[in-house]
Structure 1
Amino acid sequence: MSENVVLDGRRARGDASRRIVLQSATDLASVEGLDGLTIGRLAEASGSSKSSIATLFQSKEGLQLATVAAAREIFTAQIVTPAREQPRGVRRLAALLRNSLVYSRDRVFTGGCFFAATAADVDSKSGPVSDAVRAALVDWYGYVEAQLRYAVEAGEIEGDPEVLAFELVALNEEANSRSLLLDDERPYVVAATAMRGRLRAAGADGSALSLLDL
């Protein structure tokens, strides 16, 4: 067996171990926050050894950064990528908003939205981990606003895209927060209804808003 084959096998096993550990890490951080995500706590939650986790991630910060990156990939796969099947503007926006509500409602992470859960850990802090969470959220907010800007320019709706984006994201985040607090799915239905009402008031077409039905 060649040395390259041996190295490729080790790399594949290492990648598989990393993915399995990160599944536990993203879920744990969604409940306990990034501050609670340590090598020791993750070893306890995942059943892996501290030494194997330390080998994979080198440090607590390395683990936290890898966890944020893994959560961002999941967020994109669950919310953004499917919405890109719709044309830019109101239809893609409606798909994005629905996907974001379903992602939280269906508990892709036990603690609801990973980024809503971890934002409280980093909102007043600096450093690479805080920057990574902040960058993910800024990109999400910006993508929602970009669809609204396109919709306004295309004559699909009227209004200030920045204000509309703020309102719609706030409804999404409140649905996540209230559902977790009350252990109830009703907030998602209320949020979807409020989103449709806000976009309808801005002039959005009803057929596009049907994409927001839960």
Structure 2
Amino acid sequence: MAVRLRWAVMSPRKSVAETQHTRQRIVERSLAIASVEGLEGLTIGRLANELGMSKAGVLGHFGTKVSLQLAVVDAAATAFTEEVPRRVGDVRPGLPYLRAVCEAWVSYLERRSLPGGCFFTAAAAEFDGRSGPVHDAVTALNALWQRDLRVHVRRAVTAGDLPSDTDPDQLVYELMGVMLALNHFLQLQHDEAAPARARRAFRRLLGT
């Protein structure tokens, strides 16, 4: 009786863990596919086939394709956060942080953590002319990242590490432009010199 009761208590916990693990597998595979083929390239049938699951089993974790897409966007944001800002979280705010975070950003793309390169560059291009929850999520995350960069630009100006007439919006625009170019040259043209060019561009913008 005690053994049976112990199984009854532990089984639901195991079931929850297995469900979470399966959901994570779906999201991770979806992220890899979406980085190459876009969020619209995700199909329940393909995921089911690649993961050895039924279509109902895949769809049951999310309910709708939009919910799956939003889960992928969230996973991409988590991966980016771990690979870029959190890697330099102990660096002094302002210019030192900007230099370190830009280096981490270049390294993230250079190491090709995702087969399709920068997920948010691809997602922004895919959804920039659309409306709906996925567009809104991608837009909000991009805006949040740009806001954080502006905060550090302003701190660098206040500290005297950047010229007093520095326009934060213009500088962030140019930093983003360097990364868009890096992703383009790496992914479309397979230019192995692109990361070095990006680093030189950042040095011109932020100093050595």
Q: TM-score, normalised by structure 2?
A: 0.92
- Select 1:176's aligned residue among 174, 180, 183: 183
Q: Distance in 1 between matches of 2:172 and 2:119?
A: 20
Q: CA deviation at 1:5?
A: 2.2
- Select 1:15's aligned residue among 17, 20, 34: 20
> Is 1:59 matched up with 2:64?
yes
Q: Distance in 1 between matches of 2:84 and 2:58?
A: 29
Q: Check conservation: 2:36, 2:115, Cα contact below 8 A.
A: yes
Deviations 1:23-61 (A, max 9, x none): 111111010011111222322444433222111111101
Name the counterpart of 2:3. none
Q: Distance in 1 between matches of 2:51 and 2:150?
A: 38
Q: CA deviation at 1:151?
A: 0.6
Deviations 1:1-42 (A, max 9, x none): 254422211110011111111111111101001111122232
- Select 1:167's aligned residue among 162, 171, 174: 174
> Is 1:115 matched up with 2:115?
no
Q: Check conservation: 1:39, 1:63, Cα contact below 8 A.
A: no
The alignment yields a C-alpha RMSD, in angstroms, of: 1.4
Q: Secondary structure at the match of 1:63?
A: helix
Larger Rg: 2
Q: Distance in 1 between matches of 2:48 and 2:191?
A: 31
Q: TM-score, normalised by structure 1?
A: 0.89
The aligned length equals 201
Task: After the TM superposition, list the runs of 4 or more consecutive aligned residues in structure 1 that deviate by more than 3 angstroms.
Answer: 44-48
Name the counterpart of 2:130. 125
Q: Distance in 1 between matches of 2:176 and 2:38?
A: 21
For residues 1-214 of structure 1, the aligned pairs below 5 Å read 1=6, 3-158=8-163, 159-200=166-207, 206=208
Q: Check conservation: 2:31, 2:76, Cα contact below 8 A.
A: yes
Q: Secondary structure at the match of 1:134?
A: helix
**Counterpart amino acid of residue 189 in structure 1:** A
Question: Which runs of 5 or more residues in structure 2 are unaligned?
Answer: 1-5
CA pair 172-15 structure 1, distance change in 2 beyond 3 A: same
